[in-house]
Amino acid sequence: MSTTGLVGVYQPGTTLLHRLPVGVKLGGLMIFSLAIVLVRSMPAAWAFLAVALVLALVARIRLVTLARAARTVLFLALFVGALQWWWYGRDKAIETFVDLLALSIGAVVVSATTPVNAMLDSFIRWITPLRPIGVDPERVALTIGLAIQALPGTVALAVETRDAARARGVRHPRAFLAPFVVRVVARAHETGDALHARGIGDD
């Protein structure tokens, strides 16, 4: 199973979106997300999805990457959509589903056109003025980068743990949750050791 999903993976290119500064892209994504949340109507939802798809086309993002993003968000979107259907009816459910899809494609457009290291450099630049009050920009930026990167690895651990429970014929949620939490904590320790060993965070 692919574990990249929403996090996307940088796809090198020279499109307009690749050349835009990181701040512009992240700011744009923030405005786009706010607009989706604040403007609540069916036509607007389809318009937002169209905008997201046009941006993906402009960035020449591979169809398979978009499909992965859609698949990753599908379960959540279906769940939320079902709840909306139950509470507010069909139209609201469809609107919410389309909104979530547009959001996920917008996130993929940014992550596929922006290397994580470029994001880290930008975060460091933005946070550096806070150094006098004790903020370590490198460390904060690395933490954000790690949080982004941890998601696919954690999904992979979840899948492995679920498969292991199935292989033993165990269906109780505890048989999944307990080993999953233990493995996530162990992986966090290993990653910490690996960062420590590479001297990252020493300076």
Partner 1 sequence: MPTISFDAAGLSVPVAGGARVVLEPTTVELTEQRVGIIGANGSGKSTLARMVNGLVAPSTGRVLVDGVDVARHGAAIRRRVGFCFTDPASQLVMPTCVEDVELSLRRHEKNAARRHDRALEVLDRYGLSEHADVSVHALSGGQKQLLALAGVLAVEPAVVVADEPTTLLDLANTRRVADLLFGLDQQLVLVTHDLDLARRCDRVLVVEDARVRYDGPAGAAVDDYLASVTT
- Rounded distance between C-alpha atoms, residue 118 and residue 125, angstroms: 11
Nearer to partner 1 by Cβ, of 41 and 149: the residue is: 149
Rounded (5°) CA angle 181-67-9: 65
Contact code string over 120-139 relative to partner 1, x by CB under 8 A: -x----------------x-
Q: Which residue type occupies 14?
A: T
C-beta of residue 104 within 8 angstroms of C-beta of residue 37: no
Footprint of partner 1 on residues 161-190 (CB under 8 A)? 187, 190
Residue choice 35, 44, 58, 195 for contact with partner 1 (CB under 8 A): 195
Contacts of 97 (CB under 8 A, 6+ apart): 77, 78, 80, 81
CA distances from residue 171 to 75, 155, 191 in whole angstroms, order as listed: 20, 19, 30
Distance separating the N- and C-terminal Cα atoms of the chain: 37
Among 66, 56, 64, smallest CA distance to 15 is for 56
Binding mask 81-120 for partner 1 (x = CB under 8 A): ----------------------------------xxxx--
Rule CB under 8 A: is residue 17 a binding residue for partner 1? Answer: no
Distance separating alpha carbons of residues 185 and 181, to the nearest angstrom: 6
Instruction: Out of 58, 146, 175, 184, name the contact with partner 1 by CB under 8 A.
Output: 146
Query: One symbol per residue from 25 to 64: x for binding partner 1 (CB under 8 A), - otherwise; what is it?
Result: ----------------------------------------
- Binding interface with partner 1 (CB under 8 A): 2-4, 7, 9-12, 115-118, 121, 138, 145-146, 148-149, 152-153, 156, 187, 190-191, 193-200, 202-203
